[in-house]
Amino acid sequence: MDYFRLRGIGVSPGIAIGEALLTERVIFTERKESISSNQVLTELNRLKKAIERTRVQLTRLKNQTRKKVGEEYSFIFEAHLLILEGESLHQSFEEIIKKEKYKAEWAISRVHDKYQKIFESITDEYFKQRKSDITDVLTRIYKNLETTDQKKIEEERERILVGHELLPSEAALRLSRGNVLAVATDMGGKTSHTAILARSLNVPAVVGLRNISQRVKNGDYIVVDGTDGEVIVNPPMAIRKEFFSKRRKYDDYRKELRKTAKLKSATLDGVRFFLLANIELPEEVKPAISLGAEGVGLFRSEFIYLQSTTLPTEEEHYSIYSRIAKEAYPSPVYIRTVDLGGEKELPQLKIEKEPNPALGLRAIRFSLRDRDVFKVQLKAILRASSQKNVRILIPMITEIEEIAEVKILFREVKEELRKKRFQFDEDLPLGVMIEVPAAAAITDLLVKEVDYLSIGTNDLIQYYLAVDRSNEFVSYLYKPLHPSILRLIKFIIETAQREGKEIAVCGEMAADPLAAIVLLGFGLKNFSMNPIFIPRIKKALRSVEYKTVKKVVQKVMKLKTAQEIEECIIEEILVKHPNAFLRAQVI
Ligand code: PEP
Ligand code: MG
């Protein structure tokens, strides 16, 4: 059997070793079969029945998933039911069958192409990944056009699923059975539903392998390394042994980390710190808390705009915010107002194409242009605040005037809610994200206008170093430990603290053990990150003494390069605290 290795994107860490099971892929027809006028009704009926069967299946899957894996995962099917109910979907089908007079298969195929193109044009990775949900629902309807299609009962043996693309509903169903060791697919990204689910269920997964589904056969012996994003097919014995040992080490490491969830977040010398979660879906709250999150430090509200093809209503916003607030209660929840515009383009928001989107009409700039859309969101956030654990975060602030304008809108919205007798937190705190260098430079002025600050290092670093955060050609320059970045962040943290205001870091930097230690040394107490990284940061910060870290950081600030800084932290911290988890042990 051929031995080869494939590189992809590791989206769920861990190692699995076992036999491959290829998933079948539905190909939408390319045959444009026309029908006569008197066949239109029959064809519409066929489609109607297929949609009805799909609805029944999705509802059953939703209930099954809820029972077997938990409420938080059944959301996939809820989202699919919403897609299925979508009016524009039905209109598109009908138009092709009724007006253009084609068979239902061709109608589904065309509608699928149309949606794929819309989603392809979105540059934001999270939204782009939602196109697989559309494919999933349309595949189901397509298969249901044939009544005879009865799915084979899956074999119970544990296998590694290999496919072109594992559709979210298929992932939920198969992963929930507990007999999937790992997932390896040609397509996919870090934020696809399948990846989110695999991470939550601890199933190692590598996606973006390009052609694994064509190169692997059923029964091939494969290793999936979700930590390093590699798949090894039919490895010789020596390599298998290497991975058996890597798997053991990883499993021990994970067990060790999980134990930290219930431990207090404090350094060896008793300095308390707080680890919060960055989330994109309400379903992520509970798993985040089980990993030790003490609240939601950043809810990226953009995802709500994907739930429908029209703009979300106040009720839709409200039901999501109040669910998050309830599930996290009494811990705080920081809801970031939408960061759309710029490259996060969505068809229902009429945003013109811009030559330089990262510097364009984005986030608060966009919200202040479309004030009615913004007010809908502000109202919903306020309404979800009656338990007093909701906070607001405004992204991409550049100047004080923007805060002043937000405050005016805030007052107007509160007045409207009072008139309608809605309950809300009258003192709902308002904070801003520091992501633009200009805002960082006037931290002393900005901080007086708000209740707290949160540093969005992902953007702040890209704008300060002039390095596009998603451009692989310049990624070698994207260095959170660059002396300029450390000086800037130190200034922001110290300035906020001098004013007695709360300050957090919510960019990826907070999830890197080395960088988190430096941030702690600057006096930072609030770290917000992707929940899967909470245990390792807790472990790192619990294994150091604040006193020592402060001294190391003073030394670090005299160094000239990111590399020298990194080496200095590793040497100095490990000498004093050999248990500190630094980069080498990162999952
Ligand atoms: C950031 O910029 O650091 C941040 C947290 O926001 P986002 O990654 O959503 O741009
Ligand atoms: Mg940002």
Which pLDDT does position 472 carry in this prediction? 65
User: Does the active-site annotation cover 506?
Assistant: yes
Mean pLDDT of the 75-94 span: 85
Residues with CB under 6 A from ligand 1: 298, 300, 339, 435, 456-459, 506-507
From CA 308, how far away is CA 86, in angstroms rounded?
A: 8
| Architecture in CATH of 4-25+151-246 | 3-Layer(bba) Sandwich (3.50)
Q: Residue 191's pLDDT band (boundaries 50, 70, 90)?
A: low
The sign of the dihedral angle between the CA atoms of 485, 490, 491, 493 is positive
Q: Residue 568's pLDDT is what?
A: 95
Q: Is the pLDDT of residue 153 over 50?
A: no
CB environment 553-584: b (16+ within 10 A), e (fewer): beebeebeebeebbebbbebbeebbeebbbee
Of the chain, the percentage scoring pLDDT greater than 90 comes to: 57
Q: Where do the CATH 1.10.274.10 domains begin and end in the chain? A: 37-144
Kindly provide the b/e burial profile for residues 405-440, where b requires at least 16 CB atoms within 10 angstroms of the residue's own CB.
Answer: ebeeebeebbeebeeeeeebbeebbbbbbbbbbebb
CA distances from 62 to 131, 134, 169, 436 (A): 20, 17, 9, 42
pLDDT: is 564 or 507 the higher one? 564
Most confident range, picked from 12-26, 78-92, 308-322, 423-437 = 423-437
**Which numbered atom of ligand 1 lies nearest the CA of 456?**
3
546 vs 175, higher pLDDT? 546
What's the pLDDT at 230? Answer: 94
pLDDT of residue 150: 44
Mapping DSSP to helix (H, G, I), strand (E, B) and coil, where does residue 230 land?
A: strand
| Ligand in nearest proximity to the CA of 455 | 1
- Judged against a pLDDT cut of 50, whether residue 157 lies above it is answered with yes
Banded model confidence at residue 348, pLDDT cuts 50, 70, 90: low
Q: Which ligand is nearest to the CA of 280?
A: 1
Task: Work out the average pLDDT over 171-180.
Answer: 79
Q: Which CATH class name applies to 259-270+433-587?
A: alpha beta
| Stronger pLDDT, 78 or 221, i.e. the higher one | 221
193 is catalytic: yes
Domain with CATH 3.20.20.60 in the chain: 259-270+433-587, 295-428
Mutation to probe ligand 1, out of 396, 506, 519 (largest number of atoms < 8 A from CB): 506
- Give start and end residues of each alpha helix (H) in 211-307: 212-215, 237-258, 285-290
Per-residue pLDDT at 16: 96
Is the Cβ–Cβ distance between 265 and 272 less than 8 Å? yes
Q: What per-residue confidence (pLDDT) applies to 586?
A: 42
User: Mean of the pLDDT values across residues 441-456?
Assistant: 98
Tell me whether the omega of the peptide bond preceding residue 330 falls within 30 degrees of 0, making it cis.
yes
- Ligand 2: centre distance to CA 459 (Å): 5
d(CA 278, CA 528): 6
SS3 187: coil
Dist. CA 445 → ligand 1 center (Å): 22
Point out the ligand 1 atom lying closest to the alpha carbon of residue 457. Answer: 3
Measured in angstroms, how far is the CA atom of residue 125 from the centroid of ligand 1? 13
pLDDT attached to residue 154: 47
pLDDT attached to residue 417: 97
Mean pLDDT of 347-358: 74
Closest ligand to the CA of 124:
1
Atom of ligand 1 nearest to the CA of 507: 3
- Summarize the confidence of residues 172-193 as an average pLDDT: 82
Tell me the pLDDT tens digit for each residue of 266-277.
Answer: 999 999 999 999
For 77-93, what is the mean pLDDT?
Answer: 86
Residue range 126-143: mean pLDDT, rounded: 82
Quote the ligand 1 centre to 339 CA distance (angstroms): 9
Look at ligand 1, atom 3, and give the residue with the nearest C-alpha: 456
**Closest alpha carbon to 375 in 330, 421, 341, 416:** 416
Return the minimum-mean-pLDDT range out of 58-72, 99-113, 400-414, 448-462.
Answer: 58-72
- CATH code, residues 295-428: 3.20.20.60
User: How far apart are the CA of 435 and the centre of ligand 2, in A?
Assistant: 6
pLDDT in tens, 449-467: 999 999 999 999 999 999 9
298 CA closest ligand 1 atom index: 5
- Out of 80, 112, 164, 506, the active site residue is 506
Ligand with smallest separation from the Cα of 191? 1
Q: Whose CA is nearest to atom 9 of ligand 1?
A: 300
| E strand residue ranges, 374-525 | 390-394, 430-434, 452-455, 502-505
Task: Tell me which CATH code domain 37-144 carries.
Answer: 1.10.274.10
Q: What is the dihedral of CA 69, 75, 76, 80, to 10 degrees?
A: 140
Q: In sequence order, what E strands does 513-586 have?
A: 526-529
Catalytic residue among 80, 112, 164, 193: 193
Q: Which of 281, 296, 300 maximizes ligand 1 atoms within 8 Å of its Cβ, making it the mutation to test the pocket?
A: 300
Atom of ligand 1 lying closest to residue 508 CA: 3
18 with 159: CB under 8 angstroms?
Answer: yes
**Average pLDDT of the segment spanning 217-242:** 94
Task: Please state, for a pLDDT cut of 70, what percent of the chain lies above it.
Answer: 92
Centroid of ligand 1 to alpha carbon of 205 (angstroms): 24
CATH 3.50.30.10 occupies which residues in the chain?
4-25+151-246
What is the residue-averaged pLDDT of the chain?
A: 88
